[in-house]
Amino acid sequence: MKSYTLTLCIIMFPLIVSGQNPTLKNKSLYELEAIRDSMNKVLSEEILFRKDSVNQKLYRVAYIAPTDSLEIAEWPYNRTVGTNTSLHSIEIRENDTKVTFLQPIYWDWQWLNYGKGYTIVDRVTGDKYKVRGYDGGGELGRLMIIQNCNGKAIYVSLLFPKLGKNVKKIDIIAYPHKDDIHPSNPAPGDGTAYLNINIEDYLVKSSKAPQIYD
């Protein structure tokens, strides 16, 4: 589609209104309305084309989560969780901190975006603990595509550095990051903030891997 389409739409209609365009001056109101509708249609198609181009580029490098690797909640999102992502648990382990979110899925094919800007902030000291990645190895900075989970909720876990012993209250904030990706429709996980979190309310005990004895 030609690049001059948007410019044409912007320039033409002020001339129609002012009557300064000699080509349009002698046209009937019906003809002018037809031209306007045609230009609006072209403009809409241009916008959709540009959005599609962005989405297709993101989709080509997206990470498709294996369905059998997803931990699915027992109940459908629309009965318990609502439509918003919620904080589920915090686990302080030997070498890191695992923060788990409950993510509702409301399409058969849905993308998620938990970016590199996710940060835990100690509300007392201001110390910041920056996200390391997904628990399980998924790559931040790419869309994660979830399939065949419509009407369910899944657990999404992020890993952070181990919190200090005296950290009691935190904020979890998704700060903007230079590597953020922006699909035409914002993905769940964008622009998230959980404020004034009392860690004890969400703390779960770390489960050690079973020992093997020969």
User: What would the two tokens of residue 33 be?
Assistant: 């309305």
Look at the block and give the residue holding tokens 């788990």: 100
Question: What domains, with CATH codes, occur in the chain?
Answer: 5-60 (no CATH), 64-202 (2.60.40)
The span from the CA of 30 to the CA of 76, in Å, is 52
Question: What is 135-202 written as a DSSP string?
Answer: TTSPPTTS-EEEES-TTEEEEEEEEEEPPPTT--EEEEEE---TT----SSPPTTTT-EEEEEEHHHH
Helix (H, G, I), strand (E, B) or coil at 203: strand
pLDDT tens series, the chain, 214 aa:
444 444 444 444 444 444 555 555 666 766 666 666 666 655 554 444 455 676 777 777 777 887 777 888 765 545 544 557 889 999 999 999 999 998 888 878 888 888 889 999 999 999 999 999 888 777 787 788 888 888 888 899 999 999 999 999 999 998 888 877 767 665 554 557 899 999 999 998 765 555 565 4
C-alpha distances out from residue 102 to 59, 175, 184, Å: 23, 20, 24
